[in-house]
Chains A and B, each alone.
Chain A
Amino acid sequence: MELSIENVGHDYGDTQVLRDISFTVKRGEIVCIIGPSGCGKSTLLRFIGGLERPGMGQVLAAGEPPAGSLNPLTYIFQDFALLPWRSVEGNISLVLEDHGIGAKERRAIIADVLARTKLSEFGKALPRQLSGGMKQRVAIARALSVRPAVMLMDEPLSALDSQTRELLMDDLIELWTRERFSACYVTHNLAEAVRLGHKIVVLSRRPGRIIEVVEIDIPLKERANRIVELDHMQRQVWSIVREEARQADRELTHVA
């Protein structure tokens, strides 16, 4: 399945939030969206997954989702969004229960995704017993359980400390290498964007417009060992957003 975002724009009251956003997410491609805070990148992600409706433009999905996909567009949230009263297994079970899957098959799916995210021994644990990194792994397992066509990741690593972030980035790269999922990855962290993105969509400050789309053709698996090139990329992207970020930082906030 491919997603194309066509001329999406939006206003909150008198405040222009997004303008003329167009790009595509191809199969097996990770598109990172970066921009200064308040540029509407999380709003854009909500439009892409249909959680909110854009005021202008549209989001189109082309092609069939993979066979057996229960929820083609699946989010991973910054705050994990796990139900605190359900165990790890219960949280994954939650998103399968409404799809008419038998209890036995459900257990099999849960066991499978827990194994794929190396969480098998934590199935009975409650979220409060887990570290932030583990909680986000549970959220990733939950997302995998519905066989998404595109993962919509809203700053998935921003609530984690930098060491955990490194670990999870490695996990994500390993996962992508195995499963070749497509993703739309919103972040404000340039290092994450150059490590994970095949394509980086750079947004301006509010109203968010696309300043530039940077393509990185180094294979994801090799990036950890090509730090110099990556660092060069990161500087290049930083030079694009630097002035925008500085200006955005000095603005008074109007929207919450």
Chain B
Amino acid sequence: MSHDAVAERATDAAAAKTRTPNAKPVPFRGGGFRHRPHAAVSALVFIAVIVFWEVGCRTGFISSIALAPPSQAFGAIMDLVHTGMLWKHLGLSLYRLIAGWTLGTLLGIGVGILIGLFSLVRAGLMPLVSALFPIPKIALLPLFVVWFGIGEGSKVATILFGTFFPTVIATYSGIDSVDRNLIRMGQSFELSWLSIVRKIIIPGALPSILSGFRISAAIAIVLLVAAEMIGAQYGIGAYILTAGAEFAIDKLIAGVALLSVIGLAIAWLIGRAEKHLLDWRT
């Protein structure tokens, strides 16, 4: 190592000798436009916002009519824990979310695969999907109440329909984007049709399907809260609505915080799934 360093200095000196006088180093113009990781900053900002909020509420800088301090919201969550109501609200909400999202996703992937593979199905269903996708599904809730009853059925159905369409679109566009050369390769080795679908097309569409999960999960949470606000006794949406009606801002914030935690947990789960299933990507 030191020998190398000496040799390098010697060649530096040699280079200096042959150099034209008053030669200057070329100025550096690259750099910038690139993100570097700052792990501590996000935590710091988060804590700073909470502290500012708490201090603002206590000093009266933030009016108690406008906002409750985080400590009170935390107290409201602890109340929920102690009375056992947390599990009732959270359990029902999670049940609706999981049932609706799972059914919607399974059906969506199924229909998406059919649209992706068969031009007859595509011709028949694509206009229907395009027409129904942009409807805010919450507008159909009254209809779902008539069809599936005022109970869990209508809420699950709302979430199911809400997640179905984005999943269909993510699935068939994923299939459309599978490298045609890979399919041609499969044919050239005389793979069966089923093998080509199972081993080439579906794995190839998986990245798009998984990114569709992120969208459908976000839609599912929005629809969950909306459906629970319209017609439910228990559930986080109902809890937030009651809190609003009672003007209990601490409870309201506690409910919203719970939703945020659910959203983060889902994003984390999808992130794990992507890491596990798509580890072949660069």
Residues of A within 8 A of B (CB): 49, 51, 71, 73-75, 77, 79, 81, 83-86, 94-95, 97-98, 126-128, 146
Contact = CB atoms under 8 A, between A and B. Distances in A.
Interface stretch (B22-30, B97-105, B191-199, B242-250): B191-199
Interface string B199-242: 11001000000000000000000000000000000000000000
B61 interface: no
Nearest to B183: A81
Query: 3 nearest interchain CB pairs?
Result: A81-B185, A85-B280, A95-B189
Contact of B203 (A49, A51, A85): A85
Given A77-B181, A84-B280, A98-B191, 19 more contacts: A49-B188, A51-B184, A51-B187, A71-B188, A71-B189, A71-B190, A74-B189, A81-B181, A81-B185, A83-B182, A83-B199, A83-B203, A85-B280, A86-B280, A94-B199, A95-B191, A98-B195, A126-B280, A128-B280
B205 to A, nearest CB: 11
A81 B178 CA distance: 12
A137 B179 CA distance: 20
Contacts of B185: 75, 77, 81
A75 B181 CA distance: 11
A84 B200 CA distance: 10
User: Interface majority SS on B: helix, strand, loop or mixed?
Assistant: helix
User: Interface majority SS on A: helix, strand, loop or mixed?
Assistant: loop
B282 interface: yes
B203 A98 contact: no
Interface of B: 179, 181-182, 184-192, 195, 199-200, 203, 278, 280-282
B195 to A, nearest CB: 5
Contacts of B280: 84-86, 126-128
B188 A75 contact: yes
Given A126-B280, A128-B280, A128-B282, A79 B191 contact: no
Contacts of A49: 188
B182 A81 contact: yes
B72 to A, nearest CB: 50
22 contacts: A51-B184, A71-B188, A71-B190, A74-B188, A75-B185, A77-B185, A81-B184, A81-B185, A83-B182, A83-B200, A85-B203, A94-B186, A94-B191, A95-B191, A97-B195, A97-B199, A98-B189, A98-B195, A126-B280, A127-B280, A128-B280, A128-B282
Most-contacted residue by chain B among A71, A77, A79, A98 (CB, 10 A):
A98
Contact of A98 (B188, B192, B278): B192
Contacts of A71: 188-190
Contacts of B189: 71, 74, 94-95, 98, 146
A71 B282 CA distance: 32
A74 B182 CA distance: 14
A52 to B, nearest CB: 10
A127 B182 CA distance: 14
Nearest to A95: B189
A97 B189 CA distance: 11
Contacts of A84: 280-281
Nearest to A127: B280
Contacts of A128: 280-282
Contacts of A83: 182, 199-200, 203
A195 B281 CA distance: 36
Contacts of A98: 189-192, 195
Contacts of A85: 203, 278, 280
A16 to B, nearest CB: 24
Contacts of B186: 94
A75 B191 CA distance: 13
Contacts of A95: 189, 191
Most-contacted residue by chain B among A81, A94, A95, A128 (CB, 10 A):
A81
Contacts of B281: 84, 128
Contacts of B192: 98
B181 A79 contact: yes
Contacts of B200: 83
Contacts of A51: 184, 187-188
Contacts of A146: 189
A77 B280 CA distance: 21
Nearest to B181: A81
A84 B184 CA distance: 15
Contacts of B199: 83, 94, 97
Nearest to A85: B280
